[in-house]
Chain A
Amino acid sequence: MNEMKNLASDVVERAKRAGADAVEVYLRRGVETEVSVRNGAIETLQQGQPKSVGIRLWVGERSASTYATDDRPAALDGLIRGTLDLVKLTDPVPELAIADAARMATSVPDLELFDRAVAEVPADRKIALARETEEAGRAADSRITVSGGASYSDLALEHVLANSHGLCVGYRESFASFGVSLIADDEGGKKRNGSWSTYGRFASSLESPQFVGETAAKRAVRQLGAGPVPTQKLPVVFDSLAAGSLTGLLFSVLTGGAVERRSSFLADLLGELVVGDNIFLEDNPLLLRGPGSKPYDGEGAATAPTTFIEAGRLTTFALNSYSARKLGMEPTGHASRPSSGSPGETAFNLSLRPGTVSQEEMIAATPHGFFCEGMMGFGFNASTGDFSRGAFGRMIEQGKLGAPVSEVTISINIRALFSTIDLLGSDIDRRRSVAAPSFRIREATLAGRG
Chain B
Amino acid sequence: MHLPYFEYFGIDADLGRKVLSRALSRGGDHADLYFEHRVSAVMVLDDGRIQEIDRAINLGCGVRVLAGDATGYAYTEDLSSEGLLRAAETASSIAMGGGLERGIELHGVPALSLYPIGQPTFEADALSKLDLLRRADAAARSYHERVKRVTVSLAESSKQILIVTSDGKFVSDDQPMLRFNVSVVAEREGRRQTGVEGGGGRVGLEYFATHTPEHLGAEAARIAVTMLDAKEAPAGSMPVVLGHGDSGILLHEAIGHGLEADFNRKKTSNYSDHIGDRVASPLCTIVDDGLLPSSRGSINVDDEGNTPTRNVLIEDGILRGYMHDHLSTKAFHLRATGNGRRQDYKHVPLPRMTNTVMMAGQHTPEEIIASVKNGIFARSFSGGQVNISNGDFVFSVTEGYLIEDGKITAPVRDVNLIGNGPDCLTRVSMVGSDFMLSDGRWTCGKDGQSVPVGVGIPTVKIDAMTVGGSKV
- Chain A interface (Cβ < 8 Å from any Cβ of B): 38, 41-51, 63-70, 79, 82-83, 86-87, 89-93, 96, 123, 146, 148-149, 181, 183, 186, 190-193, 223, 226, 228, 231-233, 261-265, 267-268, 340-342, 376-384, 386, 388-390, 392, 406-413, 444-450
Contacts and interface: CB of A to CB of B under 8 A. Distances in A.
A48 B71 contact: no
A69 B77 contact: yes
Given A379-B415, A390-B468, A384 B268 contact: no
B413 A445 contact: no
Nearest to A264: B192
B389 A192 contact: yes
B42 interface: yes
A406 B392 contact: yes
Contacts of A377: 383-385, 394-396, 416, 418
Contact of A193 (B58, B388, B416): B388
Contacts of A447: 235-236, 418, 466-469
A44 B387 contact: no
A147 to B, nearest CB: 8
3 nearest CB pairs, A to B = A409-B468, A377-B394, A390-B394
B107 interface: no
B185 A48 contact: no
Given A47-B73, A69-B60, A261-B185, A233 B472 contact: yes
A48 B390 contact: no
A445 B235 contact: yes
B382 interface: yes
Contact of B472 (A43, A96, A232, A389): A232
A149 B71 CA distance: 14
B354 to A, nearest CB: 22
Contacts of A186: 390
Contacts of B58: 68-69
B55 A82 contact: yes
A93 B56 contact: no
Nearest to B187: A262
Contacts of A379: 382, 394, 396, 414-416, 468
B190 interface: yes
A445 to B, nearest CB: 4
Contacts of B59: 68-70
Interface stretch (B45-53, B289-297, B356-364): B45-53
Contacts of A412: 470
Nearest to A378: B383
B394 A409 contact: yes
A50 B344 CA distance: 12
Contacts of B50: 89-91
Nearest to B417: A409
Contacts of B429: none
Interface in B400-421: 413-420
Contact of B57 (A70, A341, A388, A445): A70
B90 A47 contact: yes
Contacts of A386: 413-414
A411 B237 contact: no
B270 interface: yes
Given A231-B236, A268-B190, A411-B235, A44 B348 contact: yes
Nearest to A377: B394
B24 interface: no
Nearest to B56: A67
Contacts of B73: 44-47
B60 A340 contact: no
Contacts of A38: 266
B75 A48 contact: yes
A388 B396 contact: yes
A231 B236 CA distance: 6
B51 A390 contact: no
B75 to A, nearest CB: 4
B418 A408 contact: yes
A43 B69 contact: yes
A139 B236 CA distance: 39
Contacts of B328: none
B54 A409 contact: no
Contacts of A92: 49
A376 B416 CA distance: 10
B2 interface: no
B391 A190 contact: yes
B109 interface: no
Contact of A376 (B126, B151, B387): B387
Contacts of A191: 268-270, 272, 389-390
A87 B126 CA distance: 12
Contact of B72 (A45, A262, A449): A45
Contacts of A380: 414
B413 A381 contact: yes
Contacts of B193: 381, 383-384
A38 B266 CA distance: 9
A146 B46 CA distance: 50
A409 B419 CA distance: 10
B56 A411 contact: no
B283 to A, nearest CB: 23
A36 to B, nearest CB: 9
Contacts of A384: 191-193, 413-414
Contact of A411 (B269, B270, B469): B469
A226 B418 CA distance: 15
Interface string B66-92: 000111111111000000000000100
B438 interface: no
B268 A388 contact: no
B192 A383 contact: yes
Best-surrounded residue of A380, A386, A411 (most CB of chain B within 10 A): A411
A390 B392 contact: yes
